[in-house]
Amino acid sequence: MVATTLLDWQAKLRTGEITASGLLETALDRLMHLEPRLNAITQIDRDFARSAAQAADERIHGGDRAQPKDLRFRGAISHPTTPP
In a domain, 65, yes or no: yes
Determine contact, residues 48/73, Cβ cutoff 8 Å. Answer: yes
What pLDDT is attached to residue 33? 92
- Secondary structure, 3-state, 23-83: HHHHHHHHHHHHHHHHCCCCEECHHHHHHHHHHHHHHHHCCCCCCHHHHCCCCCEECCCCC
CA–CA dist 55, 21 (Å, integer): 9
Domain carrying residue 73: 6-78
Share of the chain above pLDDT 70, in %: 73
- 84 inside domain: no
25 vs 70: which has the higher pLDDT? 25
Say what the pTM is.
0.70
Considering its fold, how many domains does the chain have in total?
A: 1
Partnered with residue 77 across adjacent β-strands are 44
